[in-house]
Amino acid sequence: DAGVIQSPRHEVTEMGQEVTLRCKPISGHNSLFWYRQTMMRGLELLIYFNNNVPIDDSGMPEDRFSAKMPNASFSTLKIQPSEPRDSAVYFCASSFAQKNQPQHFGDGTRLSIL
Amino acid sequence: AQSVTQPDIHITVSEGASLELRCNYSYGATPYLFWYVQSPGQGLQLLLKYFSGDTLVQGIKGFEAEFKRSQSSFNLRKPSVHWSDAAEYFCAVVFGGATNKLIFGTGTLLAVQP
């Protein structure tokens, strides 16, 4: 029973480069969430989708960040250009789109921007 | 404003001792309540959830939580802690309205002494 799959697990790149994080949600789930976790700010919701449509992107830090969900089984979070302050662990989670349904998290992508 | 508070940032207990982690929320009605655990380098794993019915809920790994409406609390408990329980614990809430967005507390880091 596959869980939420994120890739890559680790990414190290130089500032200014484009970074693309990928997520495959659990089959059948129709909500997808992108989070960022840092020591300073804790766990922050960046954006979430219901039925592939972005519902709330108020957590996206700035225009350098963008997220897409072209179909029910794939989503990307892109940072362009990347900056050292973007270094964090990025989590993807999926769930059924009801309030009582728990979110299932991937193992995260640890991103380091040099 | 709707909020989730975990007042204890860090807790240390001895192996075999009992554990209680606190969670309070600010909301006029009963929200949907969740506890998650995060081990180092891992994503978040659901321990248990509550949204109606019996106010004492059982979860995985021997954890339980009790919802107390009068105190706006949903504290997590375990009668006897094991060394493998050392991790970070997050209380999370879905409030009312159309959203199924989770609001996370800041987390409690649990250390277990031998």
Residue that the structure tokens 């959203």 belong to: B99
**Is the pLDDT score of A2 beyond 90?**
no
Q: How far apart are CA A107 and CA B41, in angstroms?
A: 7
Are B106 and A42 inside 8 Å of each other by CB? Answer: yes
**Is the pLDDT score of A63 beyond 80?**
yes
| Segment B19-40 mean pLDDT | 92
Residue that the structure tokens 């409406």 belong to: B69
Residue that the structure tokens 């009582």 belong to: A100
| Residue A85 main-chain phi, psi, to 5 deg | -70, -5
Q: How far apart are CA A44 and CA A35, in angstroms?
A: 5
A106: chain B residues, CB-CB within 8 Å: 43
Contacts of A23 (CB under 8 A, 6+ apart): A4, A5, A6, A32, A34, A74, A75, A76, A77, A92, A94, A106
Q: How far apart are CA B52 and CA A99, in angstroms?
A: 12
Mean of pLDDT over chain B: 93
Q: Min CA distance, B95 vs chain A (Å)?
A: 8
Position A84 scores a pLDDT of 96
Contact B11, B74 (CB under 8 A): no
Q: How far apart are CA B26 and CA B5, in angstroms?
A: 8
Position A100 scores a pLDDT of 84
> pLDDT by residue (tens digit) across B43-91?
999 999 998 888 999 999 999 999 999 999 999 999 999 999 999 999 9
> pLDDT by residue (tens digit) across A16-48?
999 999 999 999 999 999 999 998 888 999 999
Over its C-alpha atoms, chain A yields an Rg (Å, rounded) of: 13
Q: How confident is the model at residue A1 (pLDDT cuts 50, 70, 90)?
A: low
Are A105 and B45 inside 8 Å of each other by CB? Answer: yes
Neighbours of A70 (CB within 10 A): 9
Mutate to test the interface with B, among A6, A10, A100 (most CBs of B within 10 A): A100
Position B33 scores a pLDDT of 94
Whether A88 contacts chain B with CB within 8 A? no
Mean of pLDDT over chain A: 95
Residue of B nearest to A57 (CA): B101
Position A106 scores a pLDDT of 96
**Is the pLDDT score of A80 beyond 80?**
yes
Contacts of B84 (CB under 8 A, 6+ apart): none
**Is the pLDDT score of A109 beyond 90?**
yes
| Residue A58 main-chain phi, psi, to 5 deg | -65, -20
Q: Min CA distance, A18 vs chain B (Å)?
A: 24
Q: Min CA distance, B88 vs chain A (Å)?
A: 11
